[in-house]
A = this chain, B = another copy of it.
C-alpha cells in the first residue's frame, strides 16, 4: 500500500434550507467584503440568490457581484475578476453555482495577475483569499477539493492546478435546489463524478478500503441516476448523488492508490478546447468506455473486479457494453460523431490531450494511443 496524507479541511453544510447559513459562515472567517461570483442567472429564479443575499446582508457583509461565468470557464474571465478583486480590495470570494463557477472563483482567489503560471506549475502553495461555495450542480467535486480547471482560450489548453490554500472554508450543498435541473445536467454530473472515481480506481493500488469505497460510490451514482430518471423529485437519490460526487474528489477515493490517471479527463479537455459547446459530462461519457476497453489488458484482474463489483458482469467486455447501454438509456451521446466532433481533428485533439502531461498510471499513452481511443469512439 502506498503511503499517503489525508487532510481535507472544508466544512460541509449539507441539506435542505441550509443556504441561509452562508452569512454566518463568511462572517465567522472575518470577511467583510465579498466577491460574489455566479453564472447565467438561474439562481435568481430558483431562490438561491435571494436566500444567499439576505443571509449575507443580515451579517452586514458588503457584496460585490460578478456574473456570467460559462461552462468550460476561461482564463480571460479569471484575469478580469482578479483585477476587480484587487481594485475593490475584497477579502473573500463566494462561488454560487457549479464547478465552472467554483473553479473560476478559486483561480481568482489566488489573486495574482497572471494566473496561468499556476496552471503551468500545477502544484502550488501560494496564499489565497478565503473561498466559500454554494453548490447548485453536483458534478465536478470542486466544492470539496483544492484545485481548479480553467481553459486558456488563446493557447487552447484546459489545464488544472492544485493548492491547499484554495480548499473552500465552507461549502453549502442543498440538493433540493437541483431538483429542477435539466435532465442532461444531472446525467453529466453523475458521469463526471464516475470518471473522477474510475481515474483513480484503475490505478489499482492495494488499499482495499479505497477500492471497496470507490466501488460503492460508483454503484450509488448509477442507482441514484436511475432513480432520478424515474423521478426528479426523489430527494434521497438527489442527496446521495450530490454526496457521492463531493466525496469523489475529497481525497477518500485517492488515498493509498498510486495516484490518478486523468486520461479520460485529458481527452475530454482536448475535445472541449476545440469544441467549447461540448459539455464536460458528454465528452467524458464518450471517451470513458473506450479508454477502459483500451486499457483493460494492462491489468486484467483489476478490470475484471470492476466489471464484477460495479456492473455485476463476468467480463470487462460485457461491463463496458452495459455501461454504454446505461449511458444511452440516460439519453447520453456515446460517439464523438454525435457530439459534432470532426474526424480530421482527432489528431490535434490527441496532441492537445497529451500536452496535459499525464502520469501513465493505468497504461502509458502516446499520441497514437490517444488517437486510437478517439477513432474507436468516433461512431
Which residues of A does B touch, CB under 8 Å? 1-18, 175, 206-210, 212-213, 215-217, 219-220, 223-224, 235-237, 239-240, 243-244, 247, 252, 255-256
Contacts and interface: CB of A to CB of B under 8 A. Distances in A.
A223 B236 contact: no
A1 B235 contact: yes
Contact of A207 (B8, B243, B256): B243
B247 A209 contact: yes
Contacts of A7: 9-12
A197 to B, nearest CB: 12
Given A208-B224, A209-B243, A217-B212, A3 B12 contact: no
B207 A236 contact: yes
Nearest to A237: B208
Contacts of A15: 1-4
Q: Give how many copies assemble into the complex.
A: 2
Given A208-B223, A212-B220, A8 B5 contact: no
A208 B240 contact: yes
Given A1-B15, A207-B236, 6 more contacts: A4-B14, A6-B12, A208-B220, A208-B240, A210-B243, A216-B216
Contacts of A3: 14-18
Contacts of A256: 14, 239, 243
A217 B208 CA distance: 9
Nearest to A9: B9
* In the complex, the 5 A-B pairs of residues with the closest C-beta atoms, listed nearest first: A3-B15, A212-B216, A7-B11, A208-B240, A1-B239
Nearest to A227: B208
Contacts of A14: 3-6, 255-256
28 contacts: A1-B15, A1-B235, A3-B16, A4-B12, A4-B14, A5-B12, A7-B10, A7-B11, A7-B12, A14-B255, A207-B239, A207-B243, A208-B223, A208-B240, A209-B216, A209-B240, A209-B244, A210-B243, A212-B216, A212-B217, A212-B219, A215-B216, A216-B216, A239-B256, A243-B255, A243-B256, A247-B252, A252-B252
A302 to B, nearest CB: 14
Contacts of A175: 1
A242 to B, nearest CB: 9
